């Protein structure tokens, strides 16, 4: 259920409603919107005695209404105007398209510094790079781990870009959160509920990727795991799903973008690098994603993709990334956004 407060409800009215909701054994999440505050109540509804509808007569309450969807805190009903998530001072979800760029993996100081210079010069807003890599084979490069986190942090700091990196194990959360601005949950961990819950207990922004066989509703339920533990800073990332098609690495599901924008207030970023697996398709699909309403893009960029230790075929060169950024501008403007 959500309790919509009147636009002039006082902080004391809101605190009183939270107290009453908690006394009925629900968890109350106060969501402060532009127009009004909403108290989202999650928990089991166990008959009349636990009913929240009588709160409609409490001071400051406008109405009490059920959230009809299976996901609650992620539902657009609780924040119709959409969420803007701050990542190290950079907003994701506003009128501007936010571009996250960098190599698939941090491979060396030279490589990550070169990538930082390239993505900064082309106008990216955030830098990425994996230090803990979820690889299909245990014999493939697994990432530079803690050392990679430090190299990424320094590279981002030097060029003035906040950094995003993947988290695979709940035991590493403290270390990774201390040295980065946003934690990515990869496709392979999209339904690792223990990890999602643990990430719900911090306040660092989370970039939650869609699992390769996760339906849109399941994707939002994964976000709900993080939100329900108290971390409201979640950004969704469509990165392609597995279909019968093998010509491309994945099938980038652009249907998901406008549908997610209808169903949830959370910002939506698109990753055409993993979505296609082929560098030559990255720019056209990035443009299509922005036209479809994406709030941001995640693009893999490597100083020398042919020498990359992971995902070489899909990474853009610095020159191709620069061209992509230039091509984005008119498309963003055509749909009322900017870059």
Choose the contact partner of 79 out of Mn ion, ligand PEP, none; CB within 5 to 8 A by kind: none
Q: With contact defined as beta carbons under 8 Å apart, do 308 and 104 qualify?
A: yes
What is the SS3 assignment for 313? helix
Q: 107 or 311: whose CB is closer to Mn ion?
A: 311
Q: 153 or 166: whose CB is closer to ligand PEP?
A: 166
- Of the candidate residues 114, 186, 272, 303, the single one contacting ligand PEP (CB under 6 A): 186
78 binds Mn ion (CB under 5 A): no
Nearest of 126, 99, 133 to residue 308 by alpha carbon = 133
120 binds ligand PEP (CB under 6 A): no
- Of the candidate residues 88, 102, 114, 130, the single one contacting ligand PEP (CB under 6 A): 130
Q: 228 or 314: whose CB is closer to ligand PEP?
A: 314
Q: With contact defined as beta carbons under 8 Å apart, do 143 and 129 qualify?
A: no
162 binds ligand PEP (CB under 6 A): no
Q: With contact defined as beta carbons under 8 Å apart, do 268 and 295 qualify?
A: yes
What is the C-alpha radius of gyration for the chain, rounded to an integer number of angstroms? 21
CA distance 22 to 217: 28
Nearest of 338, 311, 324 to residue 283 by alpha carbon = 324
271 binds Mn ion (CB under 5 A): no
CA distance 36 to 90: 24
311 binds Mn ion (CB under 5 A): yes
Q: With contact defined as beta carbons under 8 Å apart, do 189 and 164 qualify?
A: no
CB of 136 to ligand PEP, least distance (A): 10
Contact positions with Mn ion (CB under 5 A) in 120-159: none
CB of 320 to Mn ion, least distance (A): 16
Interface mask (CB under 5 A) for Mn ion, residues 86-115, using x and -?
------------------x-----------
How many residues comprise the chain?
339
Choose the contact partner of 187 out of Mn ion, ligand PEP, none; CB within 5 to 8 A by kind: ligand PEP
Q: Nearest residue by C-beta to ligand PEP? A: 186
CB of 100 to Mn ion, least distance (A): 12
Tell me the residue ranges of DSSP E strands in the chain.
2-5, 27-32, 37-42, 61-65, 85-87, 90-92, 98-102, 126-128, 163-166, 182-185, 206-209, 234-238, 268-270, 296-300
Contact positions with ligand PEP (CB under 6 A) in 230-269: 239
What is the SS3 assignment for 316? strand
Interface mask (CB under 6 A) for ligand PEP, residues 196-235, using x and -?
-------------x--------------------------
Q: 87 or 299: whose CB is closer to Mn ion?
A: 299
Binding residues for ligand PEP, rule: CB under 6 A, are 104, 130, 134, 186-188, 209, 239, 274
């Amino acid at each position: 259920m959500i309790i919509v407060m009147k636009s002039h409800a006082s902080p004391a009215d809101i605190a009183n409603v939270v107290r009453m909701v908690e006394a009925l054994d629900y968890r109350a999440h106060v969501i402060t919107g532009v127009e009004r505050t909403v108290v989202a109540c999650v928990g089991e509804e166990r008959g009349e005695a636990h009913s929240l509808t009588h709160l409609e007569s409490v001071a400051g309450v406008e109405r009490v209404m059920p959230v009809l969807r299976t996901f609650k805190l992620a539902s657009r009903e609780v924040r119709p105007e959409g969420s803007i998530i701050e990542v190290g001072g950079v907003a994701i979800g506003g009128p501007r398209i936010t571009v996250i760029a960098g190599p698939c993996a941090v491979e060396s100081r030279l490589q990550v510094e070169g990538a930082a210079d390239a993505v900064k010069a082309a106008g990216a807003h955030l830098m990425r790079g994996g230090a803990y890599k979820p690889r299909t084979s245990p014999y493939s490069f697994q990432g530079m781990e803690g050392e990679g986190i430090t190299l990424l942090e320094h590279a981002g700091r030097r060029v003035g870009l906040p950094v995003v990196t993947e988290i695979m194990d709940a035991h590493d959360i403290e270390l990774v959160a201390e040295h980065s601005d946003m934690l990515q949950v990869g496709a392979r961990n999209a339904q690792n509920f223990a990890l999602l819950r643990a990430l719900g207990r911090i306040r660092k922004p989370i970039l939650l990727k869609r699992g390769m066989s996760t339906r849109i509703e399941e994707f939002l339920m994964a976000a709900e795991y993080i939100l329900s533990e108290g971390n409201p800073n979640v950004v969704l990332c469509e990165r392609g799903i597995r279909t019968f098609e093998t010509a491309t690495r994945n099938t980038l599901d652009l249907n998901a973008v406008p549908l997610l924008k209808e169903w949830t207030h959370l910002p939506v970023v698109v990753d055409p690098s993993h979505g296609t697996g082929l560098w030559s398709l990255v720019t056209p699909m990035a443009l299509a994603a922005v036209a479809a309403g994406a709030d941001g893009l995640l693009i893999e960029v490597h100083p020398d993709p042919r020498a990359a230790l992971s995902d070489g075929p899909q990474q853009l060169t610095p020159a191709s990334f620069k061209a992509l950024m230039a091509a984005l501008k008119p498309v963003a403007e055509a749909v009322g956004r900017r870059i």
